[in-house]
Each structure stands twice: as C-alpha cells, then as structure tokens.
C-alpha cells in the first residue's frame, strides 16, 4: 500500500507522545527523588537499578506476549500501563513532598515503603515502554512500509529524530519548570500523561484501521499454508536451532542462533559506555571544572550531531547499502571514543587533578576546562554521529531480516542485553567513582565500541565475503580462484 502523509503523521503523533512522556518522566523522577532526599544518592540509585533490572530480566517475556496478542491490543495495553504507572508515581511524589518523607525525623520504614512502591511503578512503566517500542518500531513500521525499503528508511529516520528531539527538549523543559516549582512540575507531568492517553489511544487505532495488513499476524497465515511434509521437516531434530525459526524455541535461543545475532548484539554492546552526555559523563565534567550551563550547551550540541546522523545514515545507506554503511559508522565511533578515552587519561592524571587550567588556556579554549578535556568532549560529540547512524543501519537490517513471527521476541531479548550492558556501565563508575579514576570506565567504554565493531566486522565478512573494497583492476589481481568461481571479481 501507499505510505500516505496521514498515516505517517498519526504514527509520528503517537510515537512523539510516548517518547516525550517517557523521557520527561525518566529524567524528572531522579530529580524528584534528589529533591525529596537531599544529601544522598541512594534512593535515586536504587530506583534506577530496579528499573534497569526489570527490563533486563522481564523484557523477553514481554516479547512473547506481544507475539501472541492482536497488534492494536498490545499497543493500547502498553499505553494504558505506561500512563497508569506514571500517574501513580506522580501521586506518590505529591504525597512524599506533602508529608516531607525525606526529613530526618521520618520513620525509616515509611521511607522504604514509598521508595519500594516507586520502584514497582517504575518497573511497570519501563516494561510498558519496552512493549510499545518493540511493537511500533520493530513491527508496526515494517508492516506499514510493506515491501518498500525507502519507506522503511524514511519511517525509521523520522522516528529516531522524534526520539532525539524528546531526549534534548524534554529534560530541558522539565528542568526549567522544576527551577520554579517542584510540586507544580509533578502535577504538570501527571496532567500531561492523563491527557495524552486519549490522543495516543485513538491515533494509533486510526493507523491500525488505515493499514489492513496490521490486522494479520504473519505467523498465523504462515502456519495455515504449511503442508504436512513441511510440518514434518520442521520437526526434524537437525532443524531445532534453525535461524529461520523453530517456533517452539525459547526467545534467547532464537536470538543467539539467528543470522542477525551479531548486528543486534553489536548494537547492544554499545550500551556499555560512559562516553555520552549521560549522568556519568556529565558528573565527570562538573567535577573537573565545567559549569552546568556549559554542560547544557555541550549536551545540546551532542544531540544536534545525533540528529544529523538521522539524515547522514539514510543517505549513506542509499549509496552503499546498510551493511557497508554500518561498518563505516561503527568504525568512526570506535576511533572517536578511543581518542576521547586517551584524552581523559591525559587530562585527569592523579598529579594534575587539582591543577586549575591556565589563564591562556581559558582564553584560547573559551569555555573548555583544559585542552585535553576539550579533545575528549569534541570526540564524544563526534562519536554520536557514528552511534546513531549505526543504530539506524542495524535496525534496518533487523527489521528486514528477522522473520515476522520472531520479530518482537528477537527485539525483546535484544532489549534485555542492552539493559545488561547499561548496568555494566553503571557498575564501572560505581567501582571507579573518583574523577581521577574516570579514565578507566572511559577506556572500558572505548574497548566495548571496538569489540562491537569487531563483531559487526565478522558479520560483514560472513555476509559479503570481504571487508575492504579495492579498485576494480587491483581487485582482479588479488582475487582468489575460488572467488572468481563464485562471481566475486572486484572485491576482497
């Protein structure tokens, strides 16, 4: 079917509301806890830990449920559970602020009870968010795009731009509001979530109506068309680990044995990083002399580079394909992250941690604290083009290559691995918590990108039978006889 602007617009509205509310709540919940419990990072840390653990262990089971239920029902349930969890959490925040739960005179059991309830709602919100993301980004958009790769690239790019805009604007908006009133910001989030339920609920239903293919599960139709001989073949022992799908296999087994395991796992490994403008890198910059306003400017610049990747990657894929584009982009990220890690090692050696930047350096570098940290920041910002560009390439490969009946289960296991590696990044800065030791997590992060690039290179070599393109004449000289027989005469 033709991808109309009406369909695209409704998909974007639904995705924007989901991403906006999720980003704002994820960011503001930590700020609310820090405001309620001043002087300690324990409640926010416990909250973030349980949220990530729930995603890591329960995401695969969510994927199995997505595969069994009508597409519209799945998305509507994810909307309702996500909004209900946020509304309940906001109600608890209002009560905690009113009752001054964070005061030293408050009974410890009351504090633990409120934090435990918040953690429970956070787990529900995270799982519902994963269900919505897996359903829409990995399933709905593929069906909506149909057989058109160009339409799929277009939808992927638009949705990624929405994600990045919400990542940039959401935290800025809520930070500005919290600066005026904490209680008012909680009420604002509560009202926005309640209002957006109705818009999301009916907008996504309209998309479902406009795209009849969404009403059909590919797995169900495939099962009806399988002959008796085909059924016997599928039940043979040697096919139990087939990449095309023994449907009774566990999601983890299906994921690991799939042909697209390496691109997906490479993308997951990239979540083990402190070289982004997340909380860890921001805390490091503040510790070494950057002001919050400067960090905000740098973070905005980073997001702009990420947005640029949503135009660069589709253009590159249209010229050289998703596989080669992914290889170029992840290698670019690896180079940038390695430069950043080395710069951090140089800038924060134990002997220089307390040495302020010189006056000449300040004048020359404007708002950078030192030349070394300037190199690190610039390298991190540049690496974001590689990260989000590779994300789009890997996502396209997965969307086109994973069987419809396995798509959501595959993506849910991928989400678990992503949360696992994100937890490892948190652990690295818990163990090496001092600014003087930040070079260790930075180097571990650079190594994780290099490992991800190597894993993707294995996939590229397996699929294309080569890694490097050579000029046609030189390729003819170096190609092996067996490659000539296979029709590969200008590449190695």
Distance CA 409, CA 402 (A): 10
For residue 122, what are the contacts with CB-CB under 8 A and spacing of at least 6?
A: 29, 47, 50, 51, 54, 85, 89
Three-state DSSP class for 134? helix
Residue 442: what pLDDT?
92
Does residue 272 sit in helix, strand or coil?
coil
Fold of 1-216: Growth Hormone; Chain: A; (1.20.1250)
How much is the pLDDT for 230?
A: 36
Residue-wise pLDDT tens for the chain (492 aa)? 567 888 888 888 988 988 888 888 887 887 788 778 876 656 776 787 788 888 878 877 777 777 777 888 888 888 999 999 999 999 999 999 888 888 878 888 988 899 999 999 999 998 898 888 888 887 888 888 887 888 888 888 888 888 878 877 777 777 677 767 888 888 988 998 888 888 888 898 898 888 888 887 654 444 333 333 333 433 344 444 444 444 455 778 888 888 899 999 999 999 998 898 876 787 787 777 777 667 777 877 888 888 888 889 889 998 888 999 999 999 999 999 999 999 988 775 444 444 444 433 343 345 565 777 888 889 999 999 999 899 989 988 988 888 877 777 788 888 889 888 988 887 887 788 777 888 898 999 999 999 999 999 999 988 887 666 655 544 444 444 434 444 444 433
491: β partners: 469
The number of beta carbons lying within 10 Å of the beta carbon of residue 338 is 20
Superfamily of segment(s) 250-492: MFS general substrate transporter like domains (1.20.1250.20)
Q: Is the pTM of this model over 0.75?
A: no
What pLDDT score was predicted for residue 41? 57
48: region left, alpha or beta (phi > 0 left; psi from -120 to 50 alpha) = alpha
In which residue ranges of the chain is CATH 1.20.1250.20 found?
1-216, 250-492
Per the CB < 8 A criterion, the answer to whether 475 and 492 are in contact is yes
121: tokens are 């709602």
The pLDDT of residue 37: 82
User: Strand, helix or coil at 486?
Assistant: coil
Quickly list DSSP for 75-133. Answer: HHHHHHHHHHHHHHHHHHHHHHHHHTTTSTTS-HHHHHHHHHHHHHHHHHHHHHHHHHH
Calculate the alpha carbon distances from 235 to 186, 219, 402, 424 in Å: 55, 17, 21, 39
């Amino acid at each position: 079917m033709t991808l109309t602007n009406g369909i695209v617009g409704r998909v974007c509205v639904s995705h924007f509301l989901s991403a906006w509310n999720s980003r704002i709540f994820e960011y503001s919940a930590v700020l609310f806890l820090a405001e309620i419990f001043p002087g300690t990072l324990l409640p926010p840390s416990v909250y973030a830990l349980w949220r990530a653990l729930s995603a890591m262990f329960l995401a695969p089971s969510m994927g199995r449920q997505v595969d069994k239920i009508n597409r519209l029902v799945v998305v509507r349930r994810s909307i309702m559970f996500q909004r209900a969890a946020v509304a309940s959490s906001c109600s608890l925040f209002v009560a905690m602020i009113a009752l001054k739960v964070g005061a030293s005179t408050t009974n410890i059991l009351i504090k633990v009870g409120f934090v435990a309830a918040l953690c429970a709602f956070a787990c529900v919100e995270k799982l519902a968010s994963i269900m919505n993301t897996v359903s829409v980004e990995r399933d709905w958009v593929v069906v909506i795009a149909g057989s058109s790769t160009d339409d799929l690239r277009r939808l992927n790019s638009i949705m990624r731009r929405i994600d990045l805009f919400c990542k940039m604007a959401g935290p800025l908006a809520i930070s500005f509001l919290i600066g005026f009133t904490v209680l008012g910001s909680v009420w604002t989030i509560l009202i926005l979530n309640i209002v957006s339920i109705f818009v999301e609920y009916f907008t996504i239903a309209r998309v479902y109506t406009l795209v009849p293919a969404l009403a059909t599960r590919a797995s169900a139709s495939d099962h009806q068309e399988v002959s008796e001989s085909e059924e016997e073949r599928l039940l043979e022992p040697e096919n139990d680990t087939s990449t095309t799908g023994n449907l009774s296999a566990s999601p983890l087994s299906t994921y690991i044995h799939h042909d697209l395991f390496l691109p997906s796992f490479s993308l997951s490994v990239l979540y083990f990083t402190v070289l982004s403008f997340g909380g860890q890198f921001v805390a490091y910059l503040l510790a070494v002399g950057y002001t919050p306003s400067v960090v905000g400017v740098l973070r905005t610049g980073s997001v702009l580079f990420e947005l640029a990747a949503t135009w660069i990657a589709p253009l590159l894929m249209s010229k050289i394909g998703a596989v080669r584009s992914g290889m170029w982009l992840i290698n670019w990220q690896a180079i940038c992250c390695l430069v950043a890690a080395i710069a951090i090692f140089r800038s924060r050696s134990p002997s220089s941690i307390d040495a302020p930047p010189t006056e000449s350096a300040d004048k020359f570098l404007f708002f950078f604290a030192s030349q070394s940290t300037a190199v690190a920041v610039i390298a991190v910002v540049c690496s974001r083009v590689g990260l989000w560009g590779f994300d789009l390439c890997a996502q396209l490969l997965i969307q086109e290559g994973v069987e419809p009946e396995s798509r959501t289960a595959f993506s849910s296991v991928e989400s678990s691995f992503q949360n696992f590696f994100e937890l490892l990044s948190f652990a690295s800065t818990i163990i090496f918590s001092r600014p003087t030791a930040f070079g260790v997590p930075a180097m571990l992060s650079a190594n994780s990108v290099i490992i991800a690039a190597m894993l993707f290179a294995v996939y590229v070599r397996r699929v294309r039978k080569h890694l490097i393109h050579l000029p046609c004449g030189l390729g003819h000289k170096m190609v092996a006889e067996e490659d000539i027989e296979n029709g590969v005469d200008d590449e190695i």
